[in-house]
Structure 1
Amino acid sequence: MVKVGFIKLGNIGMSLIVNLLLDERADREDIDVRVAGTGAKMGKPEAQDVLSFLKWEPDLLIVTSPNAALPGPKIVREAFEGKPCIVISDGPAKKAVDSMKEKGFGYIILPGDPMIGARREFLDPTEMALFNTDVLKVLSACGASRLVQEEIDRVIEEIKAGKEVTLPQIIATAEIVTERANFSNPYARAKAIAAYSMAEKVGELDSKACFMMKDPEAYTMMVAAAHELIREAALLADEAREIEKGQDTLSRAPHAKSGELLSKQGLMEPLK
């Protein structure tokens, strides 16, 4: 039994589902999963408070947060230094890549998991929920969620087998994530690449609006535009999946109770 711990500092789209990706039917017998989190905040005090979770002594720790270069996420991962730890973060975390490599951490950077339009004049709880819904559609349909799941599963298998653990060190571009989705139709993959690339642009627009623009009228318009863009990206991602469903080639890869990944494409085909 491999103990897999998740510490969620603040929120990115992937953090909403990352632990669930490992056990979608809640019947997996080879892992034990626990989750700790700090809600929406991710500062030094929150990071220090959540370190008590490490008393559970996970075999593998997954840390999710926006901008893993910030002090809060750094405190948490460095408390687990020398043990298997994978950091999952968004585009701004690229600034921490050299440091994470140097200290032996794994990482999966998702530029297509964009910053939200966090301006008070625009963002209310409903808008926040809808934004995250659209982000999850893009991450899931385009292949980013499968990439994250497969990389964590691979490390779990290495731990189970007593092998040397090779942690992922991936900057997940549109080309990389859509390859993991196993699209059969090239037009479906093209739509998915476009959708994920649009999500990357959303992050750029929201970052500009939240940190660089000072005029309320200007930044409110910018975050509104960014949220419109992620909505369109979600629709395009859905179109990519519908193409695969329409020709009955949608790739499915459920877990067996043992943790083994099964696979099928045709809806009525047996699992292999």
Structure 2
Amino acid sequence: MVVKVGIAKLGNIASGVMAELLLDERADREDMQTFMATSGTKLQPEDIDRVVTNMKAWGPDFCVVVSPNGVLPGPTGAREELAKAGIPVVVITDDITTKKEQFDALKASTFGYIIMKADSMIGARREFLDPIEMADYNGNLVKVLALTGAFRKLQFELDKVIDQVKAGKKGADLVLPKVVMTSDKAVEGEFSNPYALAKARAAYEIASAVAGVNVKGCFMTKEWEKYIPIVCSAHEMMRQASVLCDEAREIEKAGDAVIRKPHKKDGVIVSKTALISKPE
């Protein structure tokens, strides 16, 4: 059977840039298809309603709702509307674990979730952030999430749901992920060299800390002379996290130990490390 995976992208976080691509990296899987509906850059009710309407019309076997601050009314309403239509939902969002009451409610619900702690908010001050700075920041963040192992773990969790649908499960019978992507979870099983692992772990911790700096610069500091260097420093932190990831991968390359786990056309994941070899 062909599994239909919906991606409802509300606003933007780096995980949303890659969500469906991680499931079909060469666009040749024959066991699944994806459909993305997006609200664009904003989280206005009319934009979210359009996404939900299009997603329900397509009728996926399950839907991934990816957004910043997934406990806001917009993303919360979107997943609830999809659930009313009988569509199982996995929430992917940035770190909402500090919002205890709302996060506890999500944990207790039937929704799946993957909390990407390092998918930190951007330094959104007009005096600092232009389109190129935005793109550069997201490029660095995508590299951190990819090379630390966080994206691989996200992909594995979604592939588990796809496999359940292929095995005949549907609706409430699906076991959905409930994962908080910490640095330890991200790097687990990704590195053969302990120095590479330590660099990747440091990168994930730095990227996770960026959110707190940007919250200070964007919401807690009023004087522009003060908040400009604050948000700039957060972006410098993300750049250094990206550099650490490059260093970690180069160490793994030097030992011919980079792990590669591509999908076959039937969705089976195969594995290799030696560059000049076939994945099995």
TM-score (norm 1): 0.97
1:80 counterpart SS class: helix
Rounded to whole Å, the distance in 1 between the matches of 2:27 and 2:133 is 30
Q: What code does the residue aligned with 1:165 have?
A: L
1:269 counterpart SS class: coil
Deviation of the 1:94 alpha carbon:
5.2
2:213 counterpart SS class: helix
Aligned with residue 86 of structure 1, among 87, 90, 95: 90
Distance 1:93-1:8 versus aligned 2 partners, 3 A rule: farther
Q: What code does the residue aligned with 2:175 have?
A: T
Whether the aligned pair in 2 keeps the contact of 1:37 and 1:50 (CA below 8 Å) is yes
Rounded to whole Å, the distance in 1 between the matches of 2:52 and 2:19 is 19
Deviation of the 1:211 alpha carbon:
1.2
**Residue in 2 aligned with 1:168?**
177
Which runs of at least 4 in structure 1 moved beyond 3 Å after TM superposition?
Answer: none
Describe how 1:12-51 pairs up with structure 2 within 5 A.
12-51=13-52
Rounded to whole Å, the distance in 2 between the matches of 1:244 and 1:261 is 21
Deviation of the 1:49 alpha carbon:
2.1
Rounded to whole Å, the distance in 1 between the matches of 2:220 and 2:44 is 21
Q: What code does the residue aligned with 2:251 have?
A: I
**Residue in 2 aligned with 1:98?**
104
1:91 counterpart SS class: coil
**Residue in 2 aligned with 1:178?**
187
CA-atom RMSD in angstroms: 1.2
**Residue in 2 aligned with 1:73?**
75
Identity of matched residues, %: 48
Q: What code does the residue aligned with 2:266 have?
A: S
2:246 counterpart SS class: helix
1:57 matches 2:59: yes
1:145 matches 2:141: no
Rounded to whole Å, the distance in 1 between the matches of 2:44 and 2:145 is 26
**Residue in 1 aligned with 2:236?**
228
Distance 1:110-1:94 versus aligned 2 partners, 3 A rule: farther
Deviation of the 1:134 alpha carbon:
0.2
Deviation of the 1:110 alpha carbon:
0.8
Matched length: 271
